[in-house]
Amino acid sequence: MPARRIIPCLDVKDGRVVKGVQFRDHRDVGDIVEHALRYRDEGADELVFYDITASAEGRSLDTEWVRRIARVIDIPFAVAGGLRSRDQAAACLDAGADKVSINSPAIERPELIEELARDFGSQCVVLGVDSFEDGRDYYVKQYTGSVAATRDTGLRTLDWVREAAERGAGEIVLNCMRRDGVRSGYDLRHTEAVMEAVTVPVIASGGAGAPEHFRDAFAIGASGALAATVFHDRLISIPDLKEYLGSCGIEMRR
C-alpha cells in the first residue's frame, strides 16, 4: 500500500476556517490562507476544504478562495461545498484544486458521480459521507453543515458507499458524526466495514485525539486519516506525529 496520508480538514464558512463538535457550535479558528500555508510548512500530505453551508444554502462554493489557496501551496488539496454540476466541479479544478469532494449533491443526484468520473477521472472524485450511528447500524445524513437543514436520508452507509464506488468515486472520506470533535478516537469498526465494502481508498475522519488514534486507523488499513481540532489547536504536531507513526512501522511521506 502507498504511504499513508495525514490530512488536515478545514471547514470553511464565509471565507474563514471554523470548527465545531459533532457538526454543531462552530467557532472561528482563523484565516483560510494562513492555515493552508501553516499546514504546508508542517508537512501535511494533503488538505481538504469544506464549505460547510453551501449545500444547505443551495449554492456552490466560491472559487476565489480556491484560487487564493492554489497560489500559495504546492501540496494536493480537495474542495467541497454544493458542487452540483460538471461545470461547477470544472471551475474548482481550473482554479487549482486537485480533487473535488461531493456529498449532499451526490445524494440528490447519484448520476453526478458518474459524470465527474467520466470527465475528470475517478482519481479527482472524492465521496464525502456523513455517517451517523442509529441503533445497530449506520445511516447517511445530508446537509450537515447547517443544524436546521440536516436531515436523515434513509440510506444505509454501506449501501451508499458501494453504489458510489460502482458509479466511479475514487475515494471515500468517512465522517463518523458521533466522533466528530470529541477526540475519543476514530470509529474503527465502522471504518473497517466501509473498507471491506469497497475497493477504493478510505479516509478515516472524526475523533482523532492522540497519535495512537492515527496509528490504529492505519493499522486496520485506512489510506489516510483526516483531523481538524488536534491540528488547529496545536494539540498534535504533524512532524512529531509522522515521526511517531514511522517508529510504529507505518510508511509515511517525509
Half-sphere exposure of 122 (CA within 13 A, CB side): 13
Residues with Cβ within 8 Å of residue 249, at least 6 apart in sequence: none
C-alpha cell recorded at residue 160:
451508499
C-alpha–C-alpha distance, residues 110 and 132, integer Å: 20
Residue positions annotated with a catalytic role:
11, 130
What share of residues in the chain are helix, strand, coil (percent, to 5)? 35, 30, 35
Please state the separation of Cα 186 from the chain's center in Å.
14
* Cα-based distances in Å from 14 to 11, 64, 141, 148: 10, 12, 23, 18
189 burial type by CB count under 10 A (0-12 exposed, 13-18 middle, 19+ buried) = exposed
